[in-house]
Structure 1
Amino acid sequence: MKKFMKSLLLLMVFLLVFSTSAFAKSENAKPFLVALGDSIPYGYNLGQTNASPSQEAFPYLMGKEADLRVRNLGVPGATTEDLLDALKNDQKYRQAVRHSDYITLNIGNNDLLRALGRAAEESENDEKKFEYLLQKYINESGVFTNLQQIIMEIERLTDSPVIIYNIYNPFDKNDFKERELHVIAERILPGLNVINRMAIQFR
């Protein structure tokens, strides 16, 4: 009887170890999605706190839908310059991209936001001056050159497909203080996104 119980116990331990190992292997075998960008992939203000990326952010929703592991490297406030620097110098980013199966890229919104803010502040309600300053600050931000270099750096690290999202309108049309900027952004964003796509296509 003791021999039987000992054999049964060993069998149970074996099955437990085997099943745990198999489960871990199954989890690790899932395709790996890496989300790069700013507060949009981070899911800023979608959770109870902003201490970590929200599970309601779109990369996690994609992961649930497609049964993917997700590494969310979105950073609220990040610009194209910030992300480019991280991809070149931060091993956390470089290793994540190297091991990715899919990548989402949502960046450039804060570059535009800063350019719009500076132009609006300095133009003193002069529309022609505003448009001149806006173009000036967008060019100075290096957003399109940075985006080209971001794509090139990703391609040096992996051959995973990259999903690139358009620059969105960061201003709230229902907010009195932001309404005018929302209208301006709506006017210029289609052209900026065309340039954005061309910059990527001809990198």
Structure 2
Amino acid sequence: MVYHYTAIGDSLTVGYGALPGNGFVPTYRRLAEYHLQTSVTYDNLGVIGLTTQGQYDLISRNLTFRQSLQQANIITLSIGGNDLIRAARTTGVTSQHFNKALAHCQTNFEHIIKGLHQIKRNGNQRYIIRVIGLYNPLPQIEEASYYVQRFNQYIERFQSATLEVANIYPLFYGRERELLSLDHIHPNSRGYRIIADQLNRLGYRPLS
């Protein structure tokens, strides 16, 4: 049997900041093949700069995304970081602005998850959804850490038999210099490997 893996999300899904082949998507695919003992084909549909609103729009209206997701046995989602970064850069660093951005991000995330389950509802194949929690890409901003932890707590509410969250925040906390690339925002190859390992540790039930 051949499994299909569809990766959606922002620049983390693209693997920005690492050499080609060293992002979490190809690394996780290789780990999945080893664990499942079968071939795993994949589509990387990551978009640099994507926000939660943009992600919801794509899975709602883009035929390419919807067809790939319909076929997928494995789905990963990385989203939310750009909402935080935009709030910090465009509105100033205040709790009020971060709270507004967080509320908007949470609403969009709920719509994304509902959209994914709706796409998969009429399919016959078994599938898993894996969501990558946020690390803090702006550790120098106190409000950013609060935003990230609140968002991570929120997305964990959606865990189910088919959906689990990879909690990477504590693995990156205090290790940003070691795990982030030269732009100090995106992971380097080592950081992406940590993300892939955390996804792999969640297991593959009900696929295996």
CA distance in 2 between counterparts of 1:138 and 1:65 reads 33
Corresponding residue number in structure 2 for 1:84? 56
Q: Which residues of structure 1 form unaligned runs of 5+?
A: 1-28, 48-53, 124-129, 174-178
Within a 5 Å distance, the mapping from 1:80-159 to structure 2 comes to: 80-120=52-92, 130-139=94-103, 142-158=104-120
Give CA deviations for 1:90-120 in whole Å, capped at 9, x if unaligned: 1110000000011001111111111122342
Larger relative contact order (C-alpha < 8 A, sep ≥ 6)? 2
Following superposition, the deviation at residue 161 of structure 1 comes to: 1.2
Corresponding residue number in structure 2 for 1:61? 27
Corresponding residue number in structure 2 for 1:168? 135
- 1:115 and 1:138 in contact (8 A); partners too: no
TM-score with structure 1 length normalisation? 0.66
Q: Secondary structure at the match of 2:97?
A: helix
Following superposition, the deviation at residue 164 of structure 1 comes to: 0.9
CA distance in 2 between counterparts of 1:195 and 1:102 reads 22
- Structure 1: 4+ residue segments shifted above 4 A: none
CA distance in 1 between counterparts of 2:146 and 2:58 reads 32
Change (3 A) 1:30 1:197: same
User: Which structure has greater helix proportion?
Assistant: 1
Percent of aligned positions that are identical: 26
Corresponding residue number in structure 1 for 2:174? none
Q: Which residues of structure 2 form unaligned runs of 5+?
A: 34-39, 122-126, 161-208
TM-score with structure 2 length normalisation? 0.65
- 1:119 and 1:137 in contact (8 A); partners too: no
> What number of residue pairs does the alignment pair up?
149
Following superposition, the deviation at residue 143 of structure 1 comes to: 1.1
Higher-Rg structure is 1
CA distance in 1 between counterparts of 2:76 and 2:101 reads 26
Following superposition, the deviation at residue 201 of structure 1 comes to: 5.5
